[in-house]
Structure 1
Amino acid sequence: MNPKSKVLSKNLYRFPMIILVTTFCLLGCRQNKSTADNAEVLAFVGANIIDGTGAEPIKDGVLLVEQGKIVAVGTKDNITIPEGASILGVSGKTIMPGIIDAHCHVGVSNGLQTGYSGENVVKHLNTNARYGITTLVSLGDGTAISAEFRNTQNVPTLDRSRLFMAGTVISGDTEEEVTKIIDHNDSLKVDFMKIRVDDVLGTSPKMAEDIYKTVIDRSHELGYRVASHIFYLEDAKKVLRAGTDYIAHSVRDTLVDDEFITLMKENKVYYSPTLMREVSTFVFGGEPNYFTDPFFTKEVDEATIAELRNPERMESIANSASAQAYKAALPTAMKNLKRLSDAGVTIVMGTDSGPAGRFPGYFEHLEMEMMVDAGMSPMEVIMASTSNTAKVMKLEGVGSLEEGKWADFIVLDKNPLEDISNTRTISSVWIAGNKVPDKQ
């Protein structure tokens, strides 16, 4: 997200208890009202089921859900529907696992207004859920509010997106500075640590190698995996040699080489392209076609769209040197994605959505479409957006439609294996076996 800054004051980590209580009331009270009796068995009958593992879809399938979890999945011939189960006919539809965004930022904006708040966390969790993005890995927020949402989500009454977090992005010029942030993140028991090794197109100093090596080593000692923000190939190689677990952006300055691929595969490091991050830097220099897309406008208010259409704003972005530089880097990012995928590097879908102008939920669908445009198959993209991410990021209970996992899935009107944009044809979204409510 933002360029490197000095260590944040203690006040950054303090939030009044009233904000936390109010936030949970906003989400928790609504959640209780919308949750069905979770004791019953729900039987989804007749859909084609993409289980997320890469297996052939199950035709005319049955998915049984009880107490928020999947208790059986298979063909009609192989699954016995319990007496008294509530049967939901979904013939002609496709069921797929809920989508996982492996790189986003939850709660850091509202429309075009930047600022972290509990209310924004609630909005992002609910908006993503309605778009079928049922699990979020937030790589840059370090507050007790996010931690509490993460800590209270393994319940059968959940009907908003799940949240995992990296805490505060670690930056600093000295071991003392970075250790302070590591200790703060550790106090929240974050799921990942994140470093930023980037000069922002030559405008900001990078974190020194000895400092980020210290961060990676200390994080591993504490049991945390480390995500690395990079731009340049050489920096990507350096963080790989230092022991990073996750390359959280595309290499964008040049085409990746065999050495990089070998480092990725030998160290079992996974890679998120975040193609829509690049798009977001320049696309508002004009009017993107999604300003009139109902799938976009159903969640984005007219005032935000009107502000994006402001001629002065558009002109400023169109004339921005950094926007044009990131635009020029996008084809390289797409070529690198294709090469890495073909080479067998594990790809996870991430968008860097959440900051102002990077619209949660909608951008994830565009990212998946761009991944196909880059040369991945729809099945490969679905796996990168579900089971691959859950497996390598160790997100328990999600990512595939298998017995014992949380019943987080999307019912689609059309088959995304035929056209990845069919992930937009959402009939309903279910999290822990609860139907996600419509926007209020």
Structure 2
Amino acid sequence: MCINHTNRRDFLKITAATGAAVAGVSALAAPASADAHDHAAQPGDKMALTNVRIFDGDQITSRRTVVIENGRIGISTLGARRIDCGGAVLLPGLTDAHIHLRDVNTLHALAGSGVTTGLDMATFPPSLVNSLRGLPGLTDIRSAGTPAVAPGSPQSQIPAFPSDAVLTAPEQATQFVRSRVAEGSDYIKIIIDEPGLSPETIKAVTTAAHSAGKLVMAHATSTATVVRALDAGVDMIHHVPMDSALSASVAARYVSSGTVAVPTLTMMEGFGNLGIPGMNYAAAEGSVTALRRAGARILAGTDSNLTPGIPVQPPYGISLHHELELLVRAGLTTREALRATTSLPAQAFGLRDRGAVRIGNRADLVLIDGDPLADITATRAVRRVWVGGIEYAPVTG
């Protein structure tokens, strides 16, 4: 059963163009040592994190030393300031594969919770996105910019929404993609709904984006729209159906086509709790279970936002830890959940300099207490965060 028009309009607002400012910043727990607290990392500072156990993508290693030098993971400890981490676990910086940016407070909240890469799924104008790029010591971002939408959609009615993103025919697809590329969008987003963009238009946007060397993200919240996205050949499908769980055959299509899933269970859980007919969280969870059984690639994304009028607003940063817990409840192993927020998004988005604690990679690192392979909630126990080799320090005052 498809989501009715009223509920569909409510749900489509999830991907409205902007998030909103966060009210505060999640605090870090006590640092690994008094010496570490007194000497936060600065750009170019060389450090040796000693006595750390590393999540290497498969297991938690024995105690080792990780060098940070010039924003990268280095080799030699010569001349490095040593920080004894006392056996704490070091994770690659976490990635949230579905957020909505608002302002610099967004980046503070993300970094404070260990999210060192944020993948924005719809924000405009381009000047806002560009103002948040490359800020030293704060979460690194990528963005879809303005998504392609249908006439009459909630997004199309947002004041100042770019008119060239409201598509009425496939012939507009090439210019839409050109405009997004010119504005600096890192990938292209399409809102797929019923009624909405025609299958021909969705396919045309996908083809134009691929010709421009851009990945295509699709918003799809029902089984029918997921199938439409798969038919069009998009690269990633964000959200999962809430009308009915994906069948094994549809889940298998993700695998055969190489399509990546970003379920955003945190958002789906929130809408499921509203009691809206046709929005059943059990269907969303069941869809993830089916995707995992099929062997699909699954990424962790929260749909964090503070967009006015949206009834579900996962908080930036801390909600990613809840997303990992929901993925585990849906059938992923703790190892798979950790990969869903580290190595897999790096691979899927072509971010080859992150996602693993590896020499030469960006020094995006999260130090936590506990063993997340034994208990995924251990990711919440953030002790310290480095973004590009700079230790994150919460804002005060």
Q: TM-score, normalised on structure 2?
A: 0.80
Determine which of 142, 159, 167 is the counterpart of 2:137: 159
Say whether the 8 Å CA contact 2:126–2:184 is kept in structure 1: no
Whether 1:139 and 2:117 are equivalent positions in the alignment is: no
Q: RMSD across aligned C-alpha pairs, in angstroms?
A: 2.5
How far 1:150 sits from its partner (Å)?
6.3
Tell me the equivalent position of 1:241: 231
- Counterpart amino acid of residue 130 in structure 1: G
Query: Match of 2:393, SS?
Result: coil
Amino acid at match of 2:116: T
Consecutive unaligned residues in structure 2, runs of 5 or more: 1-8, 18-38, 150-166, 308-312
5 Å-filtered alignment, 1:357-372, equals 357-372=313-328
Equivalence for 2:77: 81
- Indicate yes or no: 2:331 matched with 1:353: no
| Cα distance, 1:147 vs structure 2 | 4.2
* 1:33-72 deviations in Å (ceiling 9; x for gaps): x974433421001121113x32x22211111110000014
Shift of 1:191: 1.2
Q: Are residues 1:196 and 2:191 paired?
A: yes
- Secondary structure of 1:405's match? coil
Per the TM alignment, residue 282 of structure 1 is displaced from its structure 2 partner at its CA by 5.4
| Residue of structure 2 in register with 1:170 after alignment | 148
2:350 and 2:374 map into 1 onto residues whose CA distance is 29
Q: Mapping of 1:15-414 within 5 angstroms?
A: 36-51=41-56, 53-54=57-58, 56-72=59-75, 81-82=77-78, 84-107=79-102, 121-149=103-131, 152=134, 158-171=136-149, 172-175=167-170, 178-199=173-194, 205-281=195-271, 283=273, 322=276, 325-326=278-279, 329-356=280-307, 357-414=313-370
Q: Distance in 2 between matches of 1:274 and 1:229?
A: 11
Distance 1:139 1:39 in 2: 32
How far has the Cα of 1:341 moved from its partner?
Answer: 1.4
One-letter amino acid of the counterpart of residue 386, structure 1: T
**Residue-pair matches, total:** 344
User: 1:338: Cα distance to partner?
Assistant: 1.9
Q: Does the C-alpha gap of structure 1 residues 237 and 352 become closer, same or farther in structure 2, counting only changes over 3 Å?
A: same
- Whole-Å Cα distance in 2 between the matches of residues 256 and 280 of structure 1? 19
1:414–1:391 Cα change, 3 Å: same
Q: State the 1:365 CA deviation.
A: 1.1
Deviations 1:155-214 (A, max 9, x none): xxx211010001101112224655554232111231110111123xxxxx2211111111
1:87 deviation in Å? 0.4
Q: Does the 8 Å contact 1:142/1:166 carry over to 2?
A: no
Give the TM-score of the pair, scaled to structure 1: 0.73
Quote the offset at 1:393 in angstroms: 1.3
Calculate percent identity across the aligned residue pairs.
24
Moved more, 245-254 or 85-94: 245-254
SS of corresponding position for 2:52:
strand
Work out the CA distance in 2 between the residues paired with 1:163 and 1:426: 21
Identify if the C-alpha distance between structure 1 residues 271 and 388 changes in structure 2 by more than 3 Å, giving closer, same or farther: same
| Deviation readout 1:391-437 (Å, 9 max, x if unpaired) | 01112311111111101111112221121111111111111111101
Kindly indicate whether the alpha-carbon contact (under 8 Å) linking 1:106 and 1:141 is maintained by their aligned counterparts in 2. Answer: yes
Once the two structures are superposed, residues 292-330 of structure 1 have per-residue CA deviations (whole angstroms, 9 ceiling, x without a partner) of: xxxxxxxxxxxxxxxxxxxxxxxxxx5xx63x542xx21
Counterparts of 2:80 and 2:203 in 1: how far apart (Å)? 55
Residue 115 of structure 1 corresponds to none
